[in-house]
Amino acid sequence: MLEGGGGLEAGWETDRMGAPAKTSPAATPADDAAFIAALKAGDERAFERLVRDQGIRLLALARRMMRDEATAQDCLQDAFLSVHRSIAGFEPHGSLGGWLHRITVNACLMRLRTAKRLAETPIDDLLPDFNGNGLRLGEPRTEIRDPETELEVNRVRRFVREKIDELPDGYRIVLLLRDIEGYSTREAAEMMGIAEGALKVRLHRARAALKTLVEPLWDEMGSS
Amino acid sequence: MITRHRLRWRIQHWLEARLPGLLTCAQFQEMVDAYVDDELGPVVRATVDFHMKTCPICQRYVIAYGKVRDFAADTLSAEEAEALDVVPEGLVTAILAARGVGGARGGGPNS
Ligand SMILES: [Zn+2]
């Protein structure tokens, strides 16, 4: 089955063989014209190479989005099935890596939508409060400072990670798309299937809620 | 007793009567994202900066808000850097198998 590529001797086959793939798309031959041509021609070794090289960072993406390993792996399978079906029509005006990233996000969103996990649930108790005159209520919290030691860096990361996962999916995913995966408001709104204004509101709520959730750590760590 | 909020409101009310166009904290809150994402034009930005000068609670809020956004990005990029460096072999096999089956019949990923 893996011999389907026949005598194709493109550069992508030889120059990177044996080199361990890293998560950076730059470490793969993903944008090499010969490699893309091989993929489009249905070369099976090229496809397997794509799965092995790009699959690492795409699986990490699916894990971030889905929060559990089994579903993340299902999403990666969905994504590569989409890739297989649509690679012939791939127009390289963007990067192949970016295209794959988008396909994987969409595969994850599809599963989240099907599982009704993208709804906007109320999180009012995590949002700031104002009085009738528009004045902010509540006492100021301990000042959030940068972690100073490696121990603190790890502690902050662990805590923040935990709290991101406590956000309802409808907010968490918007936060991921905008602040982590680097999509614009317009792109993220399109992917989520909501208006740009609605996306901005959700992002604001997600960030504000995360702030509320992580602040107690600085009460413990102190504000130096 | 005169609460701290009541006092702040009085000061803000007094300022607003003299400098129309001042923001309330609630209006300030609506601009927090554009502020930390550096998307405000100079005029609005000056209004926001002025509110922060007169309202230390909002000032502290927006600094924390920006930091938390940055911590989230840092946390997840650190996680990605530590991610596994190979795709599990079983998953590669399943993906390759699904391609053969799925392309023709739309079947499941497991062969
Ligand atoms: Zn204020």
CA within 13 Å, CB half, B103: 13
Res A207: pLDDT: 97
Of A148-157, A205-214, B18-27, the poorest mean pLDDT is in B18-27
> What is the longest distance spanned by two Cα atoms in chain A?
75
The stretch A82-86 carries a mean pLDDT of 93
CB distance A77–B91 less than 8 Å?
Answer: yes
Round the average pLDDT of chain A to a whole number and report it: 86
CB pairs under 8 A between A and B: 160
Domain boundaries, chain A: 3-114, 124-223
ipTM of the complex: 0.82
Res A29: pLDDT: 56
Q: Which of B36, B77, B85, B91 to mutate to test the interface with A (most CBs of A within 10 A)?
A: B91
Domain boundaries, chain B: 4-102
| CATH, range A3-114 | 1.10.1740.10
CB distance B75–A164 less than 8 Å?
Answer: yes
Distance B53 CA to ligand 1 centre (A): 9
Q: How far is B90 from chain A (nearest CA, A)?
A: 10
CB contacts of B25 in chain A (<8 Å) are: 130, 134-136
The better pLDDT of the pair A141, A160 is held by A160
- What are the tokens at A59? 């699986």
Res A25: pLDDT: 42
CATH architecture of A124-223: Orthogonal Bundle (1.10)
- Give, in order, the Cα–Cα distances in Å from B36 to each of B29, B48, B68: 11, 11, 11
CB distance A180–B78 less than 8 Å?
Answer: no
Three-state SS for B71? Answer: helix
Instruction: Name the percent of chain A lying above pLDDT 70.
Output: 85
How would residue A139 be classed by pLDDT, with cut points 50, 70 and 90?
confident
Q: Which of B65, B69, B71 to mutate to test the interface with A (most CBs of A within 10 A)?
A: B71
The better pLDDT of the pair A125, A26 is held by A125
CB distance B56–A23 less than 8 Å?
Answer: no
Question: How many angstroms separate the CA atoms of A214 and A154, rounded?
Answer: 14
> How many CB atoms within 10 Å of residue A49?
22
Distance A218 CA to ligand 1 centre (A): 22
Question: How many angstroms separate the CA atoms of A112 and A174, rounded?
Answer: 12
Instruction: Name the percent of chain A lying above pLDDT 90.
Output: 72
The stretch A4-31 carries a mean pLDDT of 45
| Highest-scoring range by mean pLDDT, A29-33, A133-137, A162-166 | A162-166
The stretch B14-22 carries a mean pLDDT of 64
CB distance A52–B77 less than 8 Å?
Answer: no
Q: Residue B12 contacts by C-beta under 8 Å, 6 or more apart in sequence?
A: A133, A135, B22, B24, B54, B55
